[in-house]
Structure 1
């Protein structure tokens, strides 16, 4: 009988919870969660829950001593902490891939120069003069922090230099992107195994409201050319990065059906959660199998699907509802209900 694998997972949100559930379903994998959130929902499903300061040498050493492999589904974790773990135990995806994902300059440089992928035009901004030059060059544009700023946060939009906020802190470095008149956003999940084998999912069409992902569906309303191009780029990224695990890429499509890479998520992603019900092997199960070095299994789509993210107080009504056979309600079991916080989702399978 194969030796049981002890998989350490950093943090304890909804994505980590689903990873734990997938590990249990596979079998032969013990899961240990390390987080600084005592209310993290993954504690209800993992084999061991360690709550403590990840910067504490004692806490980290205890975690490292008890695991065989480490993974994560949270990009705002410390690169230095992940590297410290990787110096002793196997970490997938690697700290190198996280470092690129955490820095928009590194990410876009990698996309353009290493992967040869098209992005919207962009420029590094270090001063007010840089910003003025960039806006004059691009016209309508968006200023983003180099790191962080998910769900549309830490962003400034400009039509001209007259829109510049005088309170922008230029002790920080930013990236200015030329505004893209896009008609759609799609994302592609891809899982790469240690032996280089690839499991690719079809593009998912995503709709945001107020910068927050609200709806996702397959099939996406895109051309066959865009379908193939997006999958090919996702595979290229995974191979160029020597990636192990599930990677998600986000793309924008303009009014002329040109495809632009926007950003990558170094992890399983909320927008492709529908794969739990729409595919034989979901993005979470594929991730666990890949990072643990398990056998690659051919995947296939089961059904078309739509997914609705449930935000804030909406969760109360969804917890009371009864659902049809083709409807799957996921409650993230978060104790603190806040406006626009992702509290759960509903997946509906379609013909």
Structure 2
């Protein structure tokens, strides 16, 4: 660590960054950070993890292993996390042993949907109408107020559509409650919104208070899993500007350090609602790797190391498409004839599984309509 001319401390190249988590997000953080001269140590229970393949060292241990966390702290000048389902108590321990610029509180808030929604409302940000639910009677009461359809969700652990049930009428309440309630942890009942688009904004902030937002991504999901991110988003400019303004406001209000992905529901005629947050690089920001002046992964390194933030300007229209396990065989057949405007990103996961994110393709071109046509003409996603 050294002192910059403006009297703000920064971690300079040569410092070692510890990453809690060894998945593809950690891998891409390390790849970008190594170009800048940083070293990396990752903690992950899977041997030869995606991040471990490119880091200087991997500690192989469960995320809640306190001794492994202490080892990570000893090896690192600062520690970050690459996904939010890591252990909050371990993150709190790390914050006592070394520098965790993101802190533990934001992680804890985003791990629980009720805490997350309360935090958003505290800062004047609109969310869909909701109610906490711990009994079937409370669910009936919530439904009477929220109306139908509604979405019943677990407050912790859900992702890619897991941990939620769509309830269209009163007769479905009991089965949805039984499917999700574990006997202890509250659920959350949310109003179902008639979406026009799903959008997201990646915002970065460093300790000196600089804030930068990447262009808004329009996100298309298939079977509750992100399929494609389209940038520029096909929404009115005032909607895109408002989304970036909300992300900027939130980053400042919570004194963010690092990255925050803000996911929105856009309902034409009603405006924007924040759906959820992710305090780290995000799948919908992968387009920045090839299509922005600074990638979200480099920006995360800059933010946690307290360097000046990079320019987030978009260089070209882009569509990012996820490659899931069921797409791999068709992808291998297509690779020799892929157009030359396509970038391939492969995560190095040992096992191919259905609906598991194995990599992504980035399509660059003159217009997003042209790129979407090109994507539709490939047989990789045939039958979906």
Give the TM-score of the pair, scaled to structure 1. Answer: 0.96
Work out which of the residue numbers 116, 140, 164 in structure 1 matches 2:124.
116
Give the deviation of 1:316 after TM superposition: 2.7
The one-character-per-residue Cα deviations of 1:167-217 (angstroms, maximum 9, x if unpaired) are: 243432011001101111000001111111112111100011111000111
Is the Cα contact below 8 Å between 1:278 and 1:349 reproduced in 2? yes
Work out which of the residue numbers 330, 337, 340 in structure 1 matches 2:352.
337
Inter-partner Cα distance in structure 1 for 2:308 and 2:167 = 50
Which residue matches 1:299?
Answer: 312
Q: Does 1:24 align with 2:34?
A: yes
The one-character-per-residue Cα deviations of 1:107-126 (angstroms, maximum 9, x if unpaired) are: 1111112x201111011111
Q: Which 10-residue stretch deviates more, 255-264 or 327-336?
A: 255-264
Give the deviation of 1:14 after TM superposition: 0.8
- Equivalent residues in 2 for 1:53-202 (5 A)? 53-113=62-122, 115-139=123-147, 140-166=149-175, 167-168=178-179, 169=181, 170-202=183-215
Which residue matches 1:4?
Answer: 14
- Equivalent residues in 2 for 1:307-346 (5 A)? 307-320=320-333, 321-322=335-336, 323-346=338-361
Is the Cα contact below 8 Å between 1:135 and 1:158 reproduced in 2? no
Q: Which runs of 5+ in 1 are unaligned?
A: none
Inter-partner Cα distance in structure 2 for 1:312 and 1:130 = 39
Give the deviation of 1:324 after TM superposition: 3.3
Q: Secondary structure in 1 aligned to 2:329? A: helix
Inter-partner Cα distance in structure 1 for 2:331 and 2:63 = 34
Q: Secondary structure in 1 aligned to 2:51? A: helix
- Equivalent residues in 2 for 1:265-280 (5 A)? 265-280=278-293
Is the Cα contact below 8 Å between 1:136 and 1:161 reproduced in 2? no
Aligned-residue Cα RMSD (Å) equals 1.5
Inter-partner Cα distance in structure 1 for 2:270 and 2:173 = 31
Q: Which 10-residue stretch deviates more, 295-304 or 205-214?
A: 295-304
Q: Does 1:256 align with 2:266?
A: no
Inter-partner Cα distance in structure 2 for 1:3 and 1:159 = 54
Aligned residue-pair number: 349
Which residue matches 2:235?
Answer: 222
Which residue matches 1:349?
Answer: 364
Is the Cα contact below 8 Å between 1:135 and 1:160 reproduced in 2? no
Inter-partner Cα distance in structure 1 for 2:116 and 2:350 = 34
Give the deviation of 1:238 after TM superposition: 0.8
Q: Secondary structure in 2 aligned to 1:43? A: coil
The one-character-per-residue Cα deviations of 1:295-330 (angstroms, maximum 9, x if unpaired) are: 333332211100111111312332341333321011
Inter-partner Cα distance in structure 1 for 2:215 and 2:109 = 24
Which residue matches 1:203?
Answer: 216
Q: Secondary structure in 1 aligned to 2:171? A: helix
Q: Which 10-residue stretch deviates more, 208-217 or 287-296?
A: 287-296
Which residue matches 2:382?
Answer: none
Give the TM-score of the pair, scaled to structure 2. Answer: 0.88
**Residue 225 and residue 82 in structure 1: after superposition, are their counterparts in 2 closer, same or farther (change >3 A)?**
same
Inter-partner Cα distance in structure 1 for 2:13 and 2:300 = 19
Q: Which runs of 5+ in 2 are unaligned?
A: 3-11, 367-384
Inter-partner Cα distance in structure 1 for 2:223 and 2:62 = 33
Is the Cα contact below 8 Å between 1:216 and 1:306 reproduced in 2? yes
Q: Hey, which bits of structure 1, 4+ residues long, moved more than 4 A?
A: none
Is the Cα contact below 8 Å between 2:25 and 2:82 reproduced in 1? yes
**Residue 20 and residue 229 in structure 1: after superposition, are their counterparts in 2 closer, same or farther (change >3 A)?**
same
The one-character-per-residue Cα deviations of 1:108-159 (angstroms, maximum 9, x if unpaired) are: 111112x201111011111111100111222211111111111111112112
